[in-house]
Structure 1
Amino acid sequence: MTAGTTADHALAQLRREIVAGRLRPGQRVRQEEVAARLEVSVAPVREALRVLEQEGQVEYRPRRGYVITALDVADLVEIYALRRLLEERAARAAVPVLDDDALARIALAERDCADAAARGDVVAELEANRRFHFGILEAPGQAHTMRLIRLLWESTEAYRALYYNAPEERERTVGDHGRILDAVRERDVETVVSLLDAHRQRALDVLTAVLDG
């Protein structure tokens, strides 16, 4: 395994641990322990943490090292407000030009998300949820918009896992996705945007309650 591949492996594993809730907001990331679990040196783990730091998922604190970023309500409100602006722009550009292959990928992601929710597999549901949303938003000619959207998604990954740990929210998400998919198939851009806004706001409301609690 090359140095680059080893760092990619470490990055992928750290992402999985954040999504699964094994690394939670405010928790210290012990580089030596991660390296031992992955049977690699500390160097690729440190490189992976630098990538996560650039994304806002971890932050470096003197004398403590890297910790999973802990956001407050104001941070989440700002991030979700930015997502609303950018994702509306992306959806309006993408939905009218989605081809049959894109629609098939979105539909598959919707089914995978529902199946994972039924099993209570949060990690698989989050992965399918991401494919579903980005399948709707991605279109040629908006690389910068999508780069910013991805960055905003990454910065709240640990909190998205908290949201999906509630069975009732997993069930609600399945229903939301079905309605969004129907609107996408109809190329009803206004309804797609409205449903995405409501879906996003529900997540923000739940996360706000978690943080305030």
Structure 2
Amino acid sequence: MRNKEYMKKIYRKFSDFVSIAAARELEYFIMDSRFTSSFNYRMKDMIDEIKKEKNDDIEFSILFNTNGEIALIDANILGKYIGNNYNIKIEEYYKNAALNKIIRDVINGSEKSQKDFITISYSILYHTFDTIYSEIRCKKDTVEKYKRDYLLTEYDEEDVGAVISCILILEDICRYIGVRENLLLQAVNDAVFRKNI
């Protein structure tokens, strides 16, 4: 069973929570993956910049194969990338309001604003995964469980790994900020079947 200790901690920045939640959930769920060429390129650029700064520790966190593709990447680096992207995109959507303020407003907001927040978050996470992964191989039992739990049993698209990854992270976000599960179920179901992203 996966450890959810990070859910009990208080984070100064909400994007730090998203980073850790993404890292833990993806580490638990994804068994193997292939990354997009643009993500490979961005990671190589990042390593080159770090090497210029004389910080060689990064080599232990990202390993490339002989074709120059990512062979192994530390879950925390991936989580940080997702958390930073989430922070940027959601602040853009909410007209450059700070993420912590957005979260306060969602917590104190109506069910409609909470559902909208979930839909927007799903969209951001889904598009982020689309830029990172070209292929995801994941735990089939977890896929089937989440398809049942979120009324997605009819959903058989190739992107089901990305969809379930989004749901896993959104579950953590909603539990952390106190958004009811039925709102999450409604928003996710609408977003997935209506391609409302």
TM-score (norm 2): 0.28
Structure with more contact order per residue of length (Cα contacts < 8 Å, sep ≥ 6): 2
Q: Which has the larger radius of gyration?
A: 1
Higher helix share: 1
